[in-house]
Amino acid sequence: MKFVGEGIGIGRKPELVGGGLIRSMGGWSEVLALRRRGEKTASEERILGDSEFVERVLKEWDEVGRTNLRLNRVRMNLSLLAMQVCENWGATVEELMSGSRRQIISKAREEFAQIAVKGLGFSGAEVARYIGVTASCVTRIVAGRELPEEVRLRYQIA
């Protein structure tokens, strides 16, 4: 507590403002200058370090790490997934997003959430916003359940 109290007394320090990439590159002006020149930098908000370090870490990452970070994943957008799930269940996207408690709609919503979160790596909050339910609802839907192999195959999910 003493340490925190002393830090409050110091106040805001400009050199500690901004994200890791921004700060490590020397501020927004450097980031914008790189963009104007068309130069790319490797960045991953969950890995602190300069571009070279981030590239090295990502090259050395094993498959489990890549899956956990959801790297190298081209994912279907939620609208396309919703259309496919609804077609499979004989429902409409409007029904999926309506909050209907009809059994078929609930099952379609459950499959949609499972695929989006566990199969495609969307956050529960993203999925909840899309289908108009709470994030805790999506969490309950996906908690403790594995995505069945036949569902993975149907939607071509690795």
Per-residue pLDDT of 110-155, as tens digits, reads 999 999 988 888 899 999 999 999 999 999 999 988 878 888 788 7
pLDDT of residue 64: 54
Question: What residue spans define the domains of the chain?
Answer: 2-69, 78-154
How is residue 16 annotated by DSSP? G
Which homologous superfamily does the CATH classification assign to the domain defined by 78-154? DnaA protein, C-terminal DNA-binding domain (1.10.1750.10)
Q: Global pTM?
A: 0.54
pLDDT of residue 125: 93
pLDDT tens readout for residues 12-44 = 766 655 555 555 556 656 656 666 666 555 555
Residue 54's pLDDT band, with cuts at 50, 70 and 90, is confident
Residues 6 or more apart whose Cβ sits within 8 Å of residue 103: none
Beta-bridge mates of residue 47? 44
Q: Where are the alpha helices (DSSP H) in the chain?
A: 2-10, 20-25, 28-37, 51-60, 63-69, 78-89, 93-96, 103-114, 124-131, 135-142, 149-154
The CA-atom distances, in angstroms, between 61 and each of 12, 41, 52, 57, 157 are 36, 18, 14, 6, 21
Q: Does 53 score more than 90 pLDDT?
A: no
